[in-house]
Amino acid sequence: MRTRRGDGKHALQESVSLIIADDHPLFLLGLRTFLEQHTNYCVVGEANNADQILRCAQQMPADIVIMDLSIARSTDFKVIRQLRTINPNTKVLILTGYATPEMLVNSIRAGAIGYLSKESDPSLLLLALQSIQQGKPWIQREFTERLLQALTNPVPGWRQLSPREQEVLRLVAQGLSNKEIARLLQIRPGTVKEHVTRILRKLNLRNRTEATLYALRVLELSDLTPLTPPTLPTQTEPLRWH
């Protein structure tokens, strides 16, 4: 295990801090070397197993933990939950060479919001990190398809939602934050939060990532209108709260 203070307080303040973890030292070295080529990312800790990840997180809190799937599996995915307990703001990106639908679902239920194949082009890693840092789930297409197949038919549950809840869920599935949804629908952010809470409870979902996958599955199985990118009101437009 290694923790690093970076090149100074100023560098850490402006960079996205990362803990990287893999049980193959050579892969870990290559990952760190790649990330250090980009000044907006700072690797503050490295680990080869779950215990080392948790020690790193306690000594040097990170914005994102990039973790090999095998490490998460070795703890029955508890390490992801423990990371979120240490720092609720830490986001987890899973890297893997192979994953079954069950593994994907278990890691997402534990709190991971990103999935990327180790065979991906490095540019995809940067895209994933950018999305995850903004709090938006990022799951590579091949894994998304497996996850969708793993879900049961969710259409009946969708029909239990109110029209407003369906509208909010569509926007959650597009990666919008509560504030962005509030701007678009011209309602208060607190009202959006209440809608999301009710949606998760009604559908027996645990987090926004599961809600996103649920919405994608609904739209795949039904004749509902597909998701389309929303247009947010400009900042100069007055907001009318409902």
Strand partners, 94: 67, 115
- 149: exposed, middle or buried (Cβ count in 10 Å: 0-12, 13-18, 19+): exposed
CA 169 – CA 214 distance, rounded (Å): 9
Give me the domain span that covers residue 208.
Answer: 155-221
- For position 176, which CATH number holds? 1.10.10.10
For residue 233, being part of any structural domain is answered with: no
Q: Are residues 122 and 18 in the same domain?
A: yes
202 shares a domain with 109:
no
Ramachandran angles phi, psi of 176, nearest 5°: -75, 145
**Is there a single domain that holds both residue 132 and residue 163?**
no
Please tell me the predicted confidence (pLDDT) of residue 98: 78
Check: pTM over 0.95? Answer yes or no: no
If we measure between CA atoms, which residue out of 114, 100, 89 comes closest to residue 209?
114
- Same domain for 133 and 75: yes
Domain boundary pick from 112, 140, 168: 140
Give one DSSP letter per residue of 110-126, joined into a string.
HT--EEEETTS-HHHHH
**Tens digit of pLDDT at every position of the chain (242 positions):** 665 554 444 444 468 999 999 999 999 999 999 999 998 999 999 999 999 999 999 999 899 999 999 999 998 899 999 999 999 999 999 999 877 777 888 888 899 999 999 999 999 999 999 999 988 888 887 777 666 665 555 556 787 899 999 999 989 988 889 999 999 999 999 999 999 999 998 888 888 888 888 887 776 644 444 444 455 444 444 434 44
Do residues 61 and 160 share a domain? no
Q: Is residue 236 included in any domain, yes or no?
A: no
Residues 61 and 165 in one domain: no
Q: Are residues 14 and 38 in the same domain?
A: yes
Answer whether residue 64 is part of any domain: yes
* 192 shares a domain with 74: no
Shared-domain flag, residues 85 and 48: yes
* Contact (CB, 8 A) for 211 and 172: yes
Residue 145 domain flag? no
Contact by Cβ (8 Å): 147, 101 = yes
Nearest-angstrom CA–CA distance, 67 and 115: 10
- Read off the CATH number of the domain in which 15 is found: 3.40.50.2300
pLDDT given for residue 191 in this prediction: 96
Asked if residue 150 belongs to a domain, the reply is: no
Residue 241 lies in a domain: no
DSSP SS3 for 212 = helix
Give me the DSSP letters along 58-85.
Answer: HHS--SEEEEEHHHHHHTTTHHHHHHHH
Q: Six-digit token pair at 121?
A: 């082009």
Beta strands in the chain, from DSSP E residues, in sequence order = 2-3, 16-21, 41-47, 64-68, 91-96, 114-117, 138-139
**Domain count of the fold of the chain:** 2
Do residues 56 and 163 share a domain? Answer: no
Same-domain status, 177 and 214: yes
Residue 238 pLDDT: 40
Distance in angstroms (rounded) separating the CA atoms of residues 193 and 211 = 13
Angstrom CA distances, 204 to 97, 112, 154, 168, 199, stand at: 30, 18, 11, 16, 8
Closest-CA residue to 215 (of 163, 167, 143): 167
What is d(CA 171, CA 212) in angstroms, rounded to the nearest whole number?
Answer: 9
Indicate whether 80 and 186 sit together in one domain: no
Q: Is 129 helix (H, G, I), strand (E, B) or coil?
A: helix
Is 215 part of any domain? yes
